[in-house]
Amino acid sequence: MNDYYEADHEDSLDTATRGYRSQRVPDGPPDEFVTEVLAALHHAEEAADQSVTVNLKEKFLAMNTTAKITIAATVLIVVGGLLPWLAPSGGTALAFTNVAEALANIRTATWNFSVETESPQGKMTINGKSMYLAPSRERREMPDHVHAANESGTAISLGSVEIFDYQKSESISLTPTTKMARVLKYENLPADGPSYSFEHLQRMVSDAQDGRVDKVENLGKRTIEGRETVGFRISKGDMECKIWTDSDTRLLVRVELTALRFKPKTRIVMSDFRINVELDESLFSLDVPEGYTIVSRLNIDAAEPKLDDLAQMLRLVAEHNDGVLPGELRNFESIYGGIIKSLIAKHGADESPEKAKAMAEFSANVERGMRFVLSLAPENDSHYAGKGVKLNTPNRPVFWYKPTPDENYQVIYADLSIKDVAAEDLDKRSLPAAVTVTEKRTVTKKSAVTKKSTVTKKAKFKVKVDSEGKITIQQD
Amino acid sequence: MTDWEEVLNRHGSVVWQTAWRMLGNHADALDCYQTVFLEALRVVERDTVHDWPALLKRLATARALDLLRARYRQAGRHEPLASPTAVVSRRAEPEHDAEASELLERLRVELAELPNQQAEVFSLVVLEGMTYRQVGDRLKLSTSAVGMVLNRARKRLRERLAWVEPEAKRKY
């Protein structure tokens, strides 16, 4: 039932269709490629027969890189065909096994990403491309001349090519327009890399599978880019991850990462995934290209941050802010505004090696404090009261939190000393006449049996300090 | 147990040719070929396959369209081919080969822009020569629904390609 126009009435579509059919298709695919595909299919069938459940992440890390198709096929059959999608109450963790295992066995991947921020200054989106080469290398490219506007309306430019090698614990950041490079070496790097790295995504999904996150919800089916997908939402601490995978193949289609309490409101979207494509290893080289100037070489301690790191961050920010502590902790402008202004005042608005070096050093030094803040969960009952407070103001608590609900508060004072204090024992002389700090908290209850957290109450807390200095913490 | 060697020997060329014609380059065609057979494995786990060529053509077309969409989304709508598809126009002059190649590339771009169902139906019926019934069976559509979707796809593609002056009109 195919109808065609006669030559007299042929239009562009007919010409294109005719051109399609008359293409000279070369012989192929190569015999060795077909042999590999066949081997992969046989292996996958055997794996399914044996009902193998494998720790795919460990297997993958130990594996020879030439075993690519075999592993992809194994994952698809072990993960994809045998388990139905389950409702959260029935066993989302079981359904998540499919996704976790499919992710863990990816050999290469490319995807597009966008970083969307929303602040009082408006919305901004930065688009880029990423590539992943197992087991531990990533490359991230952002367009040249990316600027992040700040409150004063001036701008900073961000490095536009970043290459990470987590196994070597090194990375380089290149800005092609200015030919500047930054070299970073990491100590105590976490197993899963930076927060929007592919390995971090793999780890987050793996943790969800093992019940090591706060919550996993099934988002149901959705059509994305013409494909039927199934979605999950993973909540862990301050991070939320939504992930959609192809209903049939369980391959990634879209990922959204959100830092829930960070300001400006930030969301990272990963899309257009291509899995197990050929990638040139030179794309992931840590050699600084010829013609580039290395503006900084930094050593970063990537160990789990502590309260001391927050104190250090407060000091650094205050030093670039006329001695005043930041207004908020989860606010990019509060943390970076002072250093940006002082660098512009000193070096001008244009990018320069000196400015880039200073920014890199500042970022490296406050990064641990920022990570500490982002790691705080509702049960830590953290409070920040440093807005407008001058560094070294005597006996003035500016931050307090509980490492665990059963412990006393750990308190940072304006002189950046840290003390262990029970709520009722905070020094009354240090407190202003009356202060009320109101925070909203979501109260969750974690089941000792299922390890899942459910929201039992959304509550508003008030921390009141009366004129006698007595502190009361009330839940509305 | 499926005799995959037999399947690849008998039907591998169907997948290869569909993938190559849709995508126009070697690397993408290999990528598509691999993906198609891994997907076929999953299909076999759920169901008995009665018509391998139809199944494989459908999978190859669907995955090739995915790759085209990703290609053009990444590079903008007018990415030149790394290794241009060799297209022979009806006339033998080299300038007409180049013109036919450009038109074919435009077709790929516009296919990637079509809604998924229209792109699949058009590709399977018009480009790959499957019957309405075969396409309906694979896509769970009636034959009349296939016809309607095909008409919509054709109309849209004609509109989109209309700016490219067809060879036949040049003499007027």
The mean pLDDT of A377-401, rounded to a whole number, is 86
The mean pLDDT of B62-67, rounded to a whole number, is 92
Highest mean pLDDT among A146-150, A379-383, A438-442, A458-462: A379-383
- Give the N- to C-terminal CA distance of chain A in Å, as an integer: 72
Q: Which of A14-28, A55-69, A280-294, B66-80 has the lowest mean pLDDT?
A: A55-69
**Rounded-to-integer distance, Cα A313 and Cα A302, Å:** 15
**Rounded-to-integer distance, Cα B135 and Cα B51, Å:** 12
Instruction: Give the model's confidence band at A214: pLDDT under 50 very low, under 70 low, under 90 confident, else very high.
Output: confident
Q: Considering the entire predicted model, what is its pTM?
A: 0.46
Q: Give every CB contact of residue B76 below 8 A, 6+ residues apart in sequence.
A: none
Q: What is the pLDDT of residues A46-65, one digit of tens each?
A: 666 543 333 333 333 444 33
3 state DSSP class of A8: helix
B42/A2 touch (CB, cutoff 8 Å), yes or no = no
* pLDDT confidence of residue A449: 64
Pick from B98, B114, B97: which is nearest to B159 by CA? B114
ipTM summary value? 0.82
Instruction: Search chain A and give the residue with CA nearest B7.
Output: A38
Is the pLDDT confidence value at B126 over 90?
Answer: yes
- Chain A residues whose CB is inside 8 A of the B165 CB are 12
* pLDDT confidence of residue A324: 93
Distances (CA, A) of A265 to A328, A333, A378, A403: 14, 12, 19, 26
∠ CA A460-A462-A467, nearest 5°, is: 170
Mean pLDDT across chain A, nearest whole number? 73
A72/B107 touch (CB, cutoff 8 Å), yes or no = no
A1/B131 touch (CB, cutoff 8 Å), yes or no = yes
Asked if A242 and A251 touch (Cβ cutoff 8 Å), the reply is no
Asked if B64 and B18 touch (Cβ cutoff 8 Å), the reply is yes
A233 pairs with which residues across the strands? A217, A242
Asked if A299 and A185 touch (Cβ cutoff 8 Å), the reply is yes
- Chain A residues whose CB is inside 8 A of the B107 CB are 13, 16-17, 19-20
Is the pLDDT confidence value at B49 over 50?
Answer: yes
Residue with tokens 């993973």: A234
Of A2, A19, A276, the CB nearest to B129: A2
Q: Which of A29-43, A226-240, A349-363, B156-170 has the lowest mean pLDDT?
A: B156-170
Of B20, B41, B166, the CB nearest to A44: B41
* pLDDT confidence of residue A325: 94
CB atoms within 10 A of CB A352: 15
DSSP assignment of A270-316 equals EEEEEES----GGGG--SPPTT-EEEEEEEEE-SPP-HHHHHHHHHH
Instruction: Give the model's confidence band at B115: pLDDT under 50 very low, under 70 low, under 90 confident, else very high.
Output: very high
B41/A226 touch (CB, cutoff 8 Å), yes or no = no
Of B41, B100, B131, the CB nearest to A19: B100
Of the two residues A406 and A94, the one the predictor is more confident about is A406
The mean pLDDT of A249-276, rounded to a whole number, is 81
Pick from B120, B146, B123: which is nearest to B133 by CA? B146
Of the two residues A99 and A412, the one the predictor is more confident about is A412
* pLDDT confidence of residue A424: 74
The mean pLDDT of A365-375, rounded to a whole number, is 82
Instruction: Give the model's confidence band at A344: pLDDT under 50 very low, under 70 low, under 90 confident, else very high.
Output: confident
Is the pLDDT confidence value at A366 over 50?
Answer: yes
B33/A37 touch (CB, cutoff 8 Å), yes or no = yes
Of the two residues A351 and A71, the one the predictor is more confident about is A351
Instruction: Search chain B and give the residue with CA nearest A277.
Output: B31
Is the pLDDT confidence value at A97 over 50?
Answer: yes
Is the pLDDT confidence value at A347 over 50?
Answer: yes
Distance from CA of A296 to the nearest CA of B (A): 32
**Rounded-to-integer distance, Cα B162 and Cα A452, Å:** 58
Distances (CA, A) of A155 to A14, A148, A152, A336, A404: 52, 6, 9, 12, 40
Is the pLDDT confidence value at B33 over 90?
Answer: yes
Judging by beta carbons within 10 Å of its beta carbon (0-12, 13-18, 19+), is residue B64 exposed, middle or buried? buried
CB atoms within 10 A of CB A91: 14
Contact A25/B at CB under 8 A: yes
Of the two residues B113 and A126, the one the predictor is more confident about is B113
Q: Which of A183-192, A304-313, A364-373, B91-100 has the lowest mean pLDDT?
A: B91-100
* pLDDT confidence of residue A312: 92
Asked if A325 and A414 touch (Cβ cutoff 8 Å), the reply is yes
A16/B106 touch (CB, cutoff 8 Å), yes or no = yes
The mean pLDDT of A275-291, rounded to a whole number, is 91
Is the preceding peptide bond at A135 cis, omega within 30 degrees of 0?
yes
Of B24, B33, B104, the CB nearest to A16: B104
What is the share, in percent, of chain A residues with pLDDT greater than 90? 12
Of the two residues A66 and A114, the one the predictor is more confident about is A114
Asked if A196 and A190 touch (Cβ cutoff 8 Å), the reply is no
